[in-house]
């Protein structure tokens, strides 16, 4: 990416005026799934506005990416919990800034027409900066295994994950997150049960706040 390309986008917090474009991105990225609803996006802003980000093309004002997150007390959940449990059905009403030390990354997506232009990296960087500013211990998220359906006939989910981590296979989501400094903690077989690409499978990933290391 050139410096000019990078400067043509910015990351900011969204407002209600951005909801239609955010929903349109969701439809483009996940055409077979229900997109975010306006009432869910409004709930995110109500409970944790600092944890919501959009990537905007400066010249046009077009929303080209988004990231949604909340703070959780990790011990209140099972590692095998699905996306709906972690996000209270997508409303984030389980946001717990008083006792939570983990930023849970509920969603990151980039408009397919703007992928490979550094927008995802900017969104992840904004999350890391937020964690450091709030003094949280870590980021954790469920990384759906987008490429697993291509290998399911010959590899178990764990074998697939192991090969992606080893660099022997590339997964469109997990490989990027590994490059962003995350590590794999656990396989979750029913994170998104109806997802045709991952066949429901995801892994819990983690990034530790270096300010609190040691």
Asked whether the predicted pLDDT for residue 1 surpasses 80, the reply is no
- Domains annotated for the chain, with CATH where assigned, are 1-136 (3.40.630.30), 144-214 (no CATH)
> 214: pLDDT confidence band, cut at 50, 70 and 90?
low
State the DSSP string of 45-100: HHH-GGG-EEEEETTT--EEEEEEEEEE-GGGS-TT--HHHHHTTTT-TT--TTT-
Q: What pLDDT is recorded for position 20?
A: 97
Whether the model pTM is above 0.85 = yes
On the 0-12 / 13-18 / 19+ scale of CB atoms within 10 A, 39 is exposed
Query: pLDDT tens digits for 60-82?
Result: 999 999 999 999 999 888 888 88
Query: pLDDT tens digits for 19-60?
Result: 999 999 999 988 877 899 999 999 999 999 999 999 999 999
b or e along 42-58 (b: 16 or more beta carbons within 10 Å of the residue's beta carbon)?
A: ebbbebbeebbbbbbbe
Higher pLDDT, 132 or 4: 132
Query: pLDDT tens digits for 156-191?
Result: 999 999 999 999 999 999 999 999 999 999 999 989
């Amino acid at each position: 990416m050139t410096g000019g390309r990078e400067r043509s986008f910015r990351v900011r917090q969204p407002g209600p005026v951005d909801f239609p474009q955010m929903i349109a991105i969701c439809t483009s990225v996940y055409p077979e799934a229900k997109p975010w609803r306006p009432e869910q996006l409004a709930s995110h802003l109500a409970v944790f506005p600092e944890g919501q980000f959009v990537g905007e093309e400066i010249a046009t004002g077009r929303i080209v990416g988004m990231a949604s997150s909340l703070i959780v007390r990790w011990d209140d959940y099972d590692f095998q919990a699905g996306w709906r449990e972690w996000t209270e059905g997508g409303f984030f009403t389980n946001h717990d800034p008083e006792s939570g030390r983990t930023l849970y990354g509920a969603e990151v997506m980039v408009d397919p027409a703007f992928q490979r232009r550094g927008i995802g990296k900017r969104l992840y960087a904004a999350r890391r900066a937020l964690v450091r500013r709030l003094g949280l211990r870590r980021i954790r998220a469920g990384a759906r295994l987008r490429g697993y359906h291509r290998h399911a006939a010959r590899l178990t989910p764990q074998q697939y994950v192991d090969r992606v981590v080893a660099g022997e296979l590339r997964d469109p989501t997990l490989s990027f997150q590994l490059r962003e400094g995350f590590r794999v903690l656990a396989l979750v077989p029913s994170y998104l049960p109806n997802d045709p690409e991952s066949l429901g499978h995801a892994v819990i990933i983690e990034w530790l706040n270096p300010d609190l290391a040691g």
